Amino acid sequence: MSFADLKRKSQNSFATLTKELEKTNSNSSGDERLWKPSVDTAGNGFAIIRFLPAPDGEDVPWAKLYSHAFQGPGGWYIENSLTTNGGKDPVGEVNRRLWNSGSDADKETARKQKRKLSYYANIYVVEDSMNPENNGKVMLYKFGKKIFDKLMEAMQPEFADETPINPFDLWEGANFKLKIRKVDGYWNYDKSEFESTSQLKPTDDELETIYNAEHSLAEFNDASNFKSYDELKTRLDAVLSGTVVATKTAAAIAEEDVVPFTPNFKSEPAPAMASVDDDDDDAMSYFEKLANE
C-alpha cells in the first residue's frame, strides 16, 4: 500500500480497528457464539431469552458437562471431568478417599475439589438491553443447576393447577425472563420466570431460519474435549504434590487453551461472579455417592 493510499484510508482503518476492539472487549473468551448476561453496578441484570429445540440431528436440547477448577501447591487444575460421559476420573477417586477418611479437613478439601455442573443450550436472544447488538441472535448459553431447575419445573410443575409446557418449543414454548440479583456477593436467579406460552415468531419461515442457525450441542460431550485418564492423573498429581511450580494465573492458563469455537472449556475457570448454589444439590448427591462406594 502506498503512503497516499494509507493516508486516504486512515480514518476507515481506525473505524475498523475500533469495531474489532469493541468486539474483543465485549467477548473476552473469544467465542462469539456464547451469550453471557450482564449486570449493572448494583449487580442487577435482566434479559429475555427463548430456549430452542435440539439442533437438527440431535435429540436433547441441552448438553451437560462436569468440570473441575481448583488450585493446589503445584498450580491450577482446570479440566473437564470424564464423569461427564460416565467414565472414571482421577479427581473423583482422590475425593472418594478424602471423603471416606473420616477427617473433616479431608472432607473440606474434597468439597473444594468437587466437580462443577454446567449446561449448554441454544437460545434466541429476545431482549438484551445492556447489549442490544445480541438481540435477534441465536447463541449458546452456559448455565447452572438453578436455571436448569427452572426448565424442569416448567416441564414438570409441582402443583396440579399448573400446566406443563415445553420451554424448548418454537410454537408452544415460552420466553424466559432472566432476572439476576446480587445476594451475599453472588448472582441469584430465584426471581427468573417464564412468560405465558407463545409462538416465537409469526411465520414458519422465520422459525426455520432460527432453527437452522442453531449450534451443535453434541460436540460438548465429544471425546476430543476430554483428556485421557492418564493425562488427567499426571496433571492432578503435579497440582496436588506441588512438584510443578506454576507462576501463571488461572486466567492465563485458560487463555492458552482458547481457540476458535470448538466446545473446549476444559481450561476455563469458574466465573468470579456466579450463583453461590448453582450446583450445591448436585454436589451433595456426589458426596453421598462417594460415601457409599
Mean pLDDT across the stretch 11-15? 60
pLDDT at 47: 98
Query: What topology is assigned to 31-292 in CATH?
Result: Replication Fork Single-Stranded DNA Binding Protein (3.90.198)
49, 151 Cβ separation under 8 angstroms: no
292 vs 194: which has the higher pLDDT? 194
Task: State percent of the chain over pLDDT 70.
Answer: 72
pLDDT per residue over 117-167, tens digit each?
A: 999 999 999 999 999 999 999 999 999 999 999 999 999 999 999 999 999
pLDDT at 173: 97
pLDDT at 293: 55
146 vs 263: which has the higher pLDDT? 146
- Residue 16: pLDDT band (50, 70, 90) is low
pLDDT at 2: 53
Secondary structure of the chain in HEC code, one letter for each residue: CCHHHHHHCHHHHHHHHHHHHHHHHHCCCCCCCEECCCCCCCCCEEEEEEECCCCCCCCCCEEEEEEEEEEECCEEEEEECHHHHCCCCHHHHHHHHHHCCCCHHHHHHHHHCCCEEEEEEEEEEEECCCCHHHCCCEEEEEECHHHHHHHHHHHCCCCCCCCCCCCCCCCCCEEEEEEEEEECCEEECCCCEEEEECCCCCCHHHHHHHHHCCCCCHHHHCHHHCCCHHHHHHHHHHHHHCCCCCCCCHHHHHHHCCCCCCCCCCCCCCCCCCECCCCHHHHHHHHHHHHHC
Does pLDDT of 48 surpass 70? yes
| Segment among 38-42, 74-78, 279-283 with least mean pLDDT | 279-283
Mean pLDDT across the stretch 83-112? 96
pLDDT at 96: 95
pLDDT per residue over 196-234, tens digit each?
A: 999 999 999 999 999 999 999 999 999 999 999 999 999
55, 120 Cβ separation under 8 angstroms: no
pLDDT at 289: 56
| Segment among 24-38, 70-84, 150-164, 168-182 with least mean pLDDT | 24-38
186, 275 Cβ separation under 8 angstroms: yes
Does pLDDT of 190 surpass 60? yes
- Residue 24: pLDDT band (50, 70, 90) is very low
Q: What is the mean pLDDT of the chain?
A: 83
Give the Cα separation of 236 and 78 in Å (integer): 10
